[in-house]
Structure 1
Amino acid sequence: MLIWLFRYLKGFVRIRVLGYSPERFLNLCKARHIVLWDLQNVGNEYEMNLSIRDFRKIRPLVKKARAHVTVTERHGLPFFLHRNRKRKMFPVGMLACCMLLYVLSLFIWDIRIEGNRARSTDVLLTYLAEEQIVHGMRKRDVDCKEIQTMLRIHFPDLTWVSARVTGTQLLIRVRENQDLETEQQEAANTSESSDLVAVRAGIITGILVRSGTAQVQPGDEVEAGTVLISGTVDIRDDSGDAVGVQEVRADGDVRARTFYVYEDSFARSREVRHFTGKKRYGVSIRAGRKLLSFTDPRTFSLYTTVETEHPLHLTGNFYLPLSFGLIERAEYEIYTEKYTAEEAKGLAEAHLNEFLNNLLQKGVQIVGNDVKIDNGRNFCVSKGKIEVLEEIGIPKIRQKEQAAFE
C-alpha cells in the first residue's frame, strides 16, 4: 500500500513494447536498474509500468534494442493535476480538505479501554464522561497522568492504569485485582482475635491446629456455627498450671463429612426459535454523538437484530468522527418442542455434572452421590444428596464481651 502511494504521488505510465527484440529491451532496463512492474505478455508484445523518471531514460535503450514503445495509460498525481489545471476550485478544495484533516487531528475521536473484565467499558466511560473526558475533546486538554490517578482513586480494584494519546485515539489500559477487597479485609483482621467456626453441619474427619485451641475431635458431629478452633491459648507456668488466657487468631484445617441437598427440575417442553431465512437490512451513520438509522419500513412480527459499526480512520490511530453501520434483522418463528426421554435425561445429567464440577473447583472431595432422576411426563425432576469431604472452618471475629467473659 505504501509503495503504491509513493508511485501514485510521483506518477507512472503503462507502456507497450514491440519490435525486433523486446526481450533485449527488458534486459537493458534491468542492467540500467530501471524498475518495471506488472509485466504482461500480450502476443508478441509486452506491457509494463514504470515511473515518469525512468520513462525519460529509456529512449537510448529503445533505439539500441530496435523496439517501438507506445504509452497506453497515464496514472498518478502529476497527470491528475495537469488534467485539472484549469479548475480553480480544485486546489481550493484540496487545501480545505487538508485544513479539515488538520483540525480533526487536534481532537480525540476514539476512547479505547483494554484489560477490564469486572468493570465494564460502559461503566468506565460513564465515569470519564463525568470528569469531562469525552469523545471530541481537544488533545491538549487530555492529562494522561491525571486520568490514571482519577481511575485508581475512584476504582480501588484497578491496581494499574496506563493512559496515552496516539493519533486521535485515547488508549487506556487497566489491570484489575478482583480479590483486592478480600485481601484488604483479611489484612485488617490479622491483628484481631478470631475463632474458627463451622460453616456447615457435618461429622469431623480430621483437624490440624496451627493457632488456637481445638474444640472438637474427629468423629464429633457439629452444626453450622459451632466453634471448631477457639482463638484462645492457655498461658501456663513452669508447673503446668493455667495462669491466664491469650487471645490469638485461630488458624487450622478442619475437614468434615457433609451433605449437599440437590434439587433440579425443568419442563419437558420448550420453545425453540426457527429462523425462516427472511432478512431485512438497513444502514446507520454516526456523526459525533448523533446517530441516523435507515431501515426497511417493512418489518417482521418476531425478529433478531444484529448491528455492526465500522468507524472511519485514515491510519491505524487517526480516527474520524464518522462511522457507518449495517443493521440486519432476521425473522424467526417459535415452535414448541418436547424433549425425548433420552434428551431429558442427558440434560438432567448435564445440570448435575455442572453442579459437581462447581464443587470440585472449590476443593471439595465427592465421596457419594445419591441423586435420582425422575423423567416424568411433563417435568424432569432430579433429587438426592451428595456426600462430600470438605473444609468447613471459616474465621469469625471474637466479640469483646465473649473474650472478657472467658
Structure 2
Amino acid sequence: MSIQGAQWIKGMVTVHIRGGQPELLVNRALAGGLQLSSIRWTSKGLLEFELSVSDFFRLRTYLKETGCRVHVTARKGLPFLLVKAERRKLFAGGIVLFFAIIFMLSSLVWSVEVQGNVKLTEEQIRAVAKQEGLYPMQWSFRLADADVLSKQLVRKLPGASWVGVEKKGTKVIIQVVEQTVPKHTALNNPRHLVASTDAVVTEIIAEAGRPVVKKNTKVKKGQTLISGTIGGEEHSRTIVAKGTVRGLVWYEFSIASPLTQSVKVYTGEKKTKWFAIIGSRALQVSGYGDNPFAASETIRHEQKAAWRNWSLPIGRMKETVMEMRMEKRTLTEAEAKGIGILQAKADVLIKAGSDAVIRDEIVLHEKAENGKVYMKVLFEVEQSIVKEMPLVQMQGD
C-alpha cells in the first residue's frame, strides 16, 4: 500500500499554531517521533502542518511545553468519512443498496446470443442450452464451466462439430461450428450453350465443348455458341458444354424525368426525450407530451453503462424528434436528364445481370414538355449471353 493510502486510512488533519514558540514546538514534536508534513508559514503569519489523528493527540504534551495553541482547519481520511456516514445513515444505506443492486444485476445473464448457425435453428440451440441451465435471467454462479457447457451442447446438438460458450459481462455468446457435408454434384445431361439474345461476341472461352463462333461475330438468339458435340462424324460423342461467352447487347429505354423533385428539409426545431433503460425496458423520464410537429423524423441514440469489460443491463436512451417538411425543388433540364438516365442505367443492370457493364449510351430523341423531360436512350451493354440447351442424341444403327 502507498504512503498516501496508509495516511488516508489513519486519517489526517491540517492545523494552525498560534502563540508560544511554534519553531520549538515543531523541533520537539519531530524529535519525539511525530510525523509532521507540509510544514509552512501562512500569509497571516501562522505555522501550518499536517499530521495523523493519532499524532494529533500526542501533540498536546508539546503544546503545553511551548505555550502554543492549536486550531484544526481541515480533516480528511477514512475515520472522518465513517463519522459522516454515521450521521447520514439513510444516505450511506442508499449507497450500499445501490452497489448491492448493481452487483446483483451484473451477476445475472441478461441475454444469450447465438452465432455461426446455418442449418441448426436458433430456437433449437436455445432449447438445448436451457436444458443445461443457460438462459436469460439465470444467475452466473449457477452456470457450469464453459468447457462443460460446450461439451454438453456438442453432444446434444445434431450436426454441430464444435460449440464455444463465452461470457461477456451480462451476455453469453454461443458460437456454433456445424459439420461440413460435401455437396453432391448434380449429373448434367449433354448440352449446347446457345445465345440468350441477339449480340456481337466480345469474348468466348470454352472450358468443355467446341466453340463454333469467334470474337466480333454477330449472333442471333438461340444460335449455338459452344457445341456439346465433339469428334468426327464416325467417332463423335456428346458432352456437357461449359464456358463463358460475353457480347454487346443493345437496350432501348423511353424515359420521362420530372422537372420538379420533392426534397426533405429539416427546420431546426426539435424535441428531446430521455429514457432510463433497465434490461429490455425503457422508462421515459423527460420530454413528456404529444409530438408538436406536423411532420417529423425520430432519431434514437442508446448508451449502456459499463464497468471495465462488463456491460451492465442499465443505461439511458436519447430520442430526438426533429421537425421536417417536404419542399419542391425545380431542376434544370440537364439535371432532370441526368437523373432519368441514372435510373435507366440501374434498370438496365438489373435486367442484364450483376456482371454486366454499360459501354456506351446514345440519346436518340429528347424533348421537354408538360413539366417533364422525355428521352429515348440506347444503351450498349457487355454481358453474358449464354444459356443452356439440352442436346438430344440421335440413336445410331
Q: Secondary structure at 2:185's aligned position in 1?
A: helix
> What is the SS of the residue equivalent to 2:108?
coil
Offset, 1:246: 4.1
Q: Is residue 2:275 matched to residue 1:284?
A: yes
Equivalent residues in 2 for 1:3-402, closer than 5 Å: 73-74=74-75, 77-85=78-86, 96-97=97-98, 99-110=100-111, 135-139=136-140, 140=143, 143=149, 163-171=165-173, 188-189=185-186, 193-218=190-215, 221-234=218-231, 242-247=234-239, 249-293=240-284, 295-299=287-291, 300-320=293-313, 322-348=314-340, 350-351=342-343, 364=356, 366-371=358-363, 374-394=367-387, 396=388, 398=390, 402=392
CA deviation map 1:174-225 (0-9, x unaligned)? 99xxxx9xx96xx724766454333332133553323112344556543445
Tell me the CA shift for residue 165 of structure 1: 0.9
1:286 Cα offset (Å): 3.0
Show structure 1 runs of 5+ residues with no match: 22-33, 37-41, 60-68
* Displacement after TM superposition at 1:284 (Å): 1.9
For 2:65, the equivalent position in structure 1 comes to: none
Per-residue displacement from partner, 1:356-404 (whole Å, max 9, x unpaired)?
999999555654321355444512344321224444235x3847xx357
Matched-pair contact (CA < 8 Å) for 1:268–1:377: no
**2:16, 2:72 within 8 Å by CA — same for their partners in 1?**
no
- Structure 2: segments with no counterpart, 5+ residues: 24-35, 60-69
The 3 A distance-change label for structure 1 pair 170 and 405 is farther
Structure-2 change in CA distance of 1:44 and 1:360 (3 Å): farther
Show CA shifts across 1:335-369 (max 9, x none): 32321334324434554676799999955565432
Distance in 1 between residues matched to 2:272 and 2:356, nearest whole Å: 52
Q: CA deviation at 1:107?
A: 1.9
Kept in 1, the 8 Å contact 2:229–2:236? The answer is: no
> Quick one: percent identity of the two aligned structures?
19
- What is the CA–CA distance in structure 1 between the aligned matches of 2:84 and 2:264, rounded to whole Å? 60
Are the counterparts in 1 of residues 193 and 224 from structure 2 also a CA contact under 8 Å?
yes
Q: 1:253 to 1:331 in 2, by over 3 A?
A: closer
Distance 1:223 1:172, change over 3 A: farther
Structure having the higher Rg: 2
Report the Cα offset of residue 276 of structure 1.
2.5
TM-score, structure 1 as length reference = 0.61
- Cα offsets for 1:221-258 (capped at 9, x unmatched): 43445442233433x6xxxx5235242x3223323232
Question: TM (normalized to structure 2)?
Answer: 0.62
- Return the alpha-carbon distance in structure 2 between the equivalents of residues 103 and 135 of structure 1: 14
SS, match of residue 301 in structure 1: coil
Deviations, residues 34-86 of structure 1 (Å, cap 9, x unaligned): 999xxxxx9899xxxx9979x99xx9xxxxxxxxx997555565532232236
Question: Relative to 1, partners in 2 of residues 1:405 and 1:277: Cα closer, same or farther, differing over 3 Å?
Answer: farther
The answer to whether the Cα contact below 8 Å between 1:10 and 1:51 also exists between their aligned partners in 2 is: no
Aligned letter for 1:274? V
Deviates more, 1:330-339 or 1:208-217: 208-217
Distance change (3 Å), C-alpha of 1:134 and 1:369: farther
Residues 144 and 164 of structure 1 are in contact (CA less than 8 Å); yes or no, is this contact kept in structure 2?
A: no
Matched to 1:253, the amino acid is T
- Does the aligned pair in 2 maintain the 1:148–1:163 contact within 8 Å? no
Distance of aligned partners of 1:205 and 1:99 in 2 relative to their CA distance in 1, 3 Å threshold: closer
